[in-house]
Amino acid sequence: MASPYPHYAWAAGHFILLVCSMRYLLAWVTFKSGAYEIWYRSAFTGAIISYAIVVYKSLGTPQPNAAYFRKALADENFQYFLLALFWWFTKPVSLAIIPYATFSLFHALTFTRTNIIPRIFPTQPAPGQGEAARAPAHPLAKSIHTWVKANYDGAMRSVAWAELVILVRVTLGFVFGLIPFVSSKIGMKNSFLAPIVFAQFLRLRYYYSAFTRTVVQNADALISNYVNQPSAPPALKQAWVPLRTVIVKYGASVIEPAQPAAAGAAGARR
């Protein structure tokens, strides 16, 4: 029988991520995030723990060869694991924590439903069904299951939109960082690596996530429709058309098809 401890460590990582994210985001919306950077780092520490466990379970022991790395890059958990490492080592970007916190909310709720509630509120099979019969789920567990099913797709679409916004944020952060007066006033500065790394991450998400593809297509339609209106400033269209061409060419290169995840692996998006 496999040890349950890796699963508990995975869950602990998500609970750490969720709690620390909530505390940091509360400080962020009240303009006090600078004093709570430890919560930001702690949140991504939880993410690194959880995603490292899932990657190990689904891909096995890391191998120093190109085949393993190509397989890993096609695994969404490995993608989020690498990105969590990048966010941990770089200057905080508050928006970056939102997708991870969203995933952790659903994982924490599911773990609570399947592991915590049955131990705190055990139920018994109905009389006459015998000892082998499965005990009914507790009403609280049923409520959590219903909520998760009803809100999962909407939350994943929100994450995909948030990731587009993050790309805009880190791109502007790099541009503003080149202008000392602007960066000192706005305080939105990051290294040139952030937009490069996140653009590559988003490119992978476009290939491997239906939610991301849909959101990118919707964003493209919204922007194109706006800049093509007669009332739109001509400069917008002149800027958007070549920019869109560059984006399409960047995303058009071939990426190896995704490999099926191992059975039972707890992923970032399920």
Contact 108, 20 (CB under 8 A): no
pLDDT recorded at residue 2? 72
* Residues of the chain falling short of pLDDT 70: 1, 125-135, 181-187, 253-270
CA distance 270 to 251: 24
Contact 48, 78 (CB under 8 A): no
pLDDT recorded at residue 261? 41
Q: Token pair for residue 180?
A: 């000392």
pLDDT recorded at residue 270? 41
Read off the pLDDT of residues 205-258 as tens digits, 9 standing for 90 and up: 999 999 999 999 999 999 999 999 988 898 998 999 999 999 888 877 655 544
DSSP class of 94: G
pLDDT recorded at residue 195? 95
pLDDT recorded at residue 18? 97
The dihedral of CA 47, 48, 53, 58: what is its sign? Answer: positive
Q: Token pair for residue 47?
A: 């993410």
Q: Token pair for residue 213?
A: 């593809």
Q: Token pair for residue 233?
A: 């400033």
pLDDT recorded at residue 264? 38
DSSP class of 136: P
- Smallest Cα–Cα separation from 46: which of 86, 12, 93, 13? 13
Name the amino acid, one letter, at 68. Y
- pTM > 0.85: yes
